[in-house]
A and B are shown apart, each in its own frame.
Chain A
Amino acid sequence: MKILVAVKRVVDHKVNVRVKADETGIETANVKMAINPFCEIAIEQAVRFKEQGSVDEVVLVCIGPKEADVQLRAGLAFGADRAILIRTDEEVQSLDVAKILHKIVQEELPDVVLLGKQAIDTDNNQTGQMLAALTNMPQGTFASNIVFTVPNTVKVTREVDGGLVTLALSLPAVITVDLRLNIPRYASLPNIMKAKRKVITMTSPDSLGVSLSPRLTTLKVESPPVRQAGIKVADVAELVDKLQLQAKGFKWQY
């Protein structure tokens, strides 16, 4: 069985991002970049399946600038076998990402495509579902548990609003992972060294026959309204008093 894992390079989740003064976007110059945390969980899961023997090959795929090879090497150091980098310096929106991944799926014919449930920069939560639509595969979104069963079925437990729901999907399938699926490992130095010898194939959206056609234009990016500084209360009595008397827009009645 073969697993394809989609990986996105994003601003590190610990960075406190700043909006550019001209309100055209986020300051990304000299900001630490990393694998999107949800993608990291997807890679970890694929590698675990390989270690358990249920998967033969783990292929990473990333769409981004040439610097994204750093993130792909990091993913290879987890234990993935090889990687594909679709190089572009353009902003690629979810629908086009799905179209590019669709082409890769047609070439690689994976049994499962694993993606993160969302990228922590755009917060869209769309790509996996769109890819499932284009490839006409079933989808298991927000997965917190994945179990392969015979014949050609995968059971996916999903994190939904009221709790958990388990679905059975026929393979091939698209699965997007949630935080609770696993805790990604730290790559060891020998594995990092080994990852340097693994193959990263370069291609481009053009050579895959996908012309980028962004449908959405970002007119402005602004900082959210800043909350007024709060007040410090000394004890419970004062807290209750304040809430009853003057909490903004709120009258505490009980």
Chain B
Amino acid sequence: MAILIVADHDNHTLQAATFSVLTAASEIVKHISDTELHLLIIGDECQSVVAMAQGITGLSKILVADYQIHQYPLAENIAPLIFSLVQEQGHCNDENREFDKVEYSHIITSAGTTGKDYQPRVAALLDVAQISDIISVESADTFKRPIYAGKAIATVQSSDAIKVLTVRSSAFTAASLTTELSAIESQVPVVALVAQADSGKSAFIKAELTQSSRPELTTAKIVISGGRGMQNTDNFELLYTLADQLHAAVGASRAAVDAGFVANDLQIGQTGKIVAPDLYIAVGISGAIQHIAGITGSKAIVAINNDPDAPIFDVADYCLVADLFEVLPELIAVLKVKD
């Protein structure tokens, strides 16, 4: 038996979410005897990702589908690939044409937008349910996941032979599974998968990605978020300055995104990103249920708001009732002095 982990990467590096998924997978392994971990890397010219993966301890096999059709992750091409891998219960090694019989009990990936896109498609092809956004592993078939914008936690048991899961990466610490082992010394076998045909049903046209030198929102240790109270795009500069002083990521509430202050990929909440930093600073955010859903995993929450009745103060550890336009410059000045 084996667990198939589908890697998150950008064709150059393995993304942090993969390491959280590895943690979740190793927690599943504790409940099953005699099981292996296989990492599946689907991409195009992703040799550096494979090299990184070879430094991960605990993997029994790395499966690689390195083909041009996977340059951009299209669900129509990824889902049949994973489906055939699991359904045939084995895979062909290109070089020696050996067929390895492996039965997969779990297919697991992170609940980023890519995983959310293809994983349910995989589940439907396999005619099994999918369990989305798990936050804990109770046993090999039982998992906890939030429902109703995190207002409730459901414990869900699957009766399917194959469990198809997505993992909330902020709920599992990113295991430092990498060793000093160089790729050459690594004993983890790398298996090249045979090419699949392009579905021909979808094509990548363009990407407009937000460029930022700040840490990635979902893995940052400190996150500073602005809401409607920021009033306009220019005022977000105050948050950027503060964020740079603290090496923090910048997030936003839906109100701030809808008003056009910042790009949509900064939205934190039920329908945006889920964060769980050591410190979350909410500035000018009232704290709607849908926003709180994205931040309750934070270790410490600071709220700065001029409305003493703002619901954000119900979840904040440190509440400062004040005008953010006075507080932010003060904070920036204080931090500058301490530098």
Binding site for B on A (CB under 8 A): 11, 13, 16-17, 19, 26, 93-95, 98, 117-118, 120-134, 137-142, 144, 155, 158-170, 173, 178-180, 215-224, 227-228, 230-233, 235-237, 239-240, 242-243, 247-250, 252, 254
Contacts of A144 in B (CB 8 A): 264
Q: Does B102 contact A (CB under 8 A)?
A: no
Cβ–Cβ contact A215 & B300, under 8 A? no
Closest A residue to B160 by beta carbon equals A215
The one of B128, B207, B257, B338 in contact with A164, judged by C-beta atoms closer than 8 angstroms, is B207
Cβ–Cβ contact B124 & A169, under 8 A? no
Cβ–Cβ contact B120 & A133, under 8 A? yes
The one of B157, B160, B246, B300 in contact with A219, judged by C-beta atoms closer than 8 angstroms, is B157
Number of interface residues of B (CB under 8 A): 93
Cα separation A210 to B273 with both chains bound (whole Å): 35
Given known contacts A250-B279, A250-B300, A160 and B271 CB-to-CB distance under 8 angstroms: no
Cβ–Cβ contact B205 & A167, under 8 A? yes
Cβ–Cβ contact B207 & A224, under 8 A? no
Interface residues of B in 125-143 (CB under 8 A from A): 125, 127-133, 142
Closest A residue to B116 by beta carbon equals A125
Cα separation A153 to B272 with both chains bound (whole Å): 28
User: Apart from A159-B113, A165-B72, what 17 extra A-B contacts exist at CB < 8 Å?
Assistant: A125-B132, A130-B120, A141-B113, A161-B265, A164-B264, A167-B203, A180-B264, A216-B131, A218-B154, A221-B153, A222-B152, A227-B317, A231-B317, A240-B331, A243-B279, A243-B300, A243-B302
The stretch of B29-37, B42-50, B181-189, B194-202 in contact with A is B194-202
Cβ–Cβ contact B75 & A165, under 8 A? no
Q: Does B104 contact A (CB under 8 A)?
A: no
Cα separation A120 to B270 with both chains bound (whole Å): 8
The one of A17, A164, A248 in contact with B152, judged by C-beta atoms closer than 8 angstroms, is A17
Quote the shortest CB–CB distance from A240 to chain B (angstroms): 6
Quote the shortest CB–CB distance from A238 to chain B (angstroms): 8
Cβ–Cβ contact B318 & A98, under 8 A? no
Cβ–Cβ contact B301 & A230, under 8 A? yes
List the 10 shortest-distance A-B pairs measured between CB atoms, nearest first: A133-B124, A129-B120, A130-B124, A138-B201, A215-B129, A126-B120, A163-B209, A138-B202, A249-B299, A236-B330
15 residue pairs from A and B, CB less than 8 Å apart = A120-B148, A138-B76, A141-B117, A167-B203, A178-B264, A179-B254, A215-B129, A217-B159, A218-B157, A230-B313, A232-B320, A235-B320, A236-B320, A248-B300, A254-B335
Cβ–Cβ contact A142 & B123, under 8 A? no
Given known contacts A123-B149, A240-B331, A242-B318, A221 and B154 CB-to-CB distance under 8 angstroms: yes
Q: Does B69 contact A (CB under 8 A)?
A: no
Cβ–Cβ contact A224 & B300, under 8 A? no
Cβ–Cβ contact A138 & B199, under 8 A? yes
Contacts of B245 in A (CB 8 A): 254
Cβ–Cβ contact B279 & A178, under 8 A? no
Q: Does B150 contact A (CB under 8 A)?
A: yes
Given known contacts A126-B130, A233-B319, A254-B339, A239 and B159 CB-to-CB distance under 8 angstroms: no
Cβ–Cβ contact B152 & A223, under 8 A? yes
Given known contacts A17-B151, A216-B156, A217-B157, A235 and B201 CB-to-CB distance under 8 angstroms: no
Cα separation A84 to B132 with both chains bound (whole Å): 28
Q: Does B89 contact A (CB under 8 A)?
A: no
Q: Does B215 contact A (CB under 8 A)?
A: no
Cα separation A95 to B158 with both chains bound (whole Å): 13
Contacts of A93 in B (CB 8 A): 129
Quote the shortest CB–CB distance from B158 to chain A (angstroms): 6
Cβ–Cβ contact A247 & B300, under 8 A? yes
Given known contacts A94-B120, A123-B132, A239 and B113 CB-to-CB distance under 8 angstroms: no
Closest A residue to B207 by beta carbon equals A165
Contacts of A98 in B (CB 8 A): 124
